[in-house]
Chain A
């Protein structure tokens, strides 16, 4: 079974530039998550999709971050404009359905460095 695919693996940009990350969840997984993990911290949920609808985006900084999952499969997360504090690993995860007790499968993440 293929895992959660993410690209790019690494991205270096200057502050105020834009960046986009892509995620393809495990086939058949209806729920998709984007997490931000700052160095030394645990992952923090940014947004959760159920199929192509947003379930929870309460922690997404909507003035600069946006995400979409138009066809209910793959998803993109965009930051525009980036700030220094956005430097982090952005993890995508998926699960078969939305909880409870559904374990998440994570991708390898995109490491973003904002200079």
Chain B
């Protein structure tokens, strides 16, 4: 069974801090790893990673994938209160003619002023 484990499950930081969120996985037929930000209910797409060692960056957020060690990290620098959300890691795997996303439980990030 495919498995995605995120850590920590929750995190409280002060504005301006830098945070690192972790995602490890065990899947067969790995295709890609995705990060989503979930505020209220709708997850919104952040990054898709398919190749090891190539950093994806968007403003203060960045992410990297290690396919040998089966993990990814999401970094947020100079955190702001608007970064408060649940960050979901999902791994896409192929099998039986379809492609499936398996999600981790998420990391709940709270940024306090």
* Chain A residues at the B interface, C-beta cutoff of 8 Å: 40-45, 48, 55-56, 89, 91, 98-109, 111
Most chain B beta-carbon neighbours within 10 Å: one of A45, A103, A111: A103
Q: Is B31 a contact partner of A107 (Cβ separation < 8 A)?
A: no
Q: Is the CB of B92 within 8 A of A107?
A: no
Contact A55 B92 (CB under 8 A): no
Contacts of A111 in B (CB 8 A): 41
Q: Are B101 and A104 in contact (CB-based, < 8 A)?
A: yes
Contact sample, A vs B, 26 pairs, CB 8 Å cutoff: A41-B105, A42-B105, A43-B43, A43-B88, A45-B100, A55-B97, A56-B96, A89-B41, A91-B42, A91-B43, A98-B98, A98-B99, A99-B99, A100-B94, A100-B99, A101-B32, A101-B48, A101-B92, A102-B99, A103-B34, A103-B45, A103-B48, A105-B45, A106-B42, A106-B44, A108-B40
B22 within 8 A of A: no
For residues 14 through 54 of chain B, which have their beta carbon under 8 Å from a beta carbon of chain A? 31-32, 34, 36, 40-45, 48, 50
The answer to the question of B90 belonging to the interface, with a C-beta cut-off of 8 Å to chain A, is: yes
Q: Do A100 and B31 touch (CB < 8 A)?
A: yes
Apart from A43-B103, A91-B42, A108-B41, list 11 A-B contacts with CB within 8 A.
Answer: A42-B105, A43-B88, A48-B98, A48-B100, A99-B31, A99-B98, A100-B99, A107-B42, A109-B41, A109-B42, A111-B41
Residue of B nearest to A95 (CB): B99
Q: Measured between alpha carbons, how far is A32 from B98 in the docked complex, in Å? A: 13
Number of interface residues of B (CB under 8 A): 27
Q: Which residues of B contact A98 (CB under 8 A)?
A: 98-99
Q: State whether A42 and B4 are in contact (beta carbons under 8 Å apart), knowing that A55-B98, A104-B101 are contacts in the complex.
A: yes
B contact residues around A45 at 8 Å (CB)? 100-101
A96 to B36, CA, bound (A): 18
Please indicate the chain B residues that have their CB under 8 angstroms from the CB of A99 in the complex. Answer: 31, 92, 94, 98-99
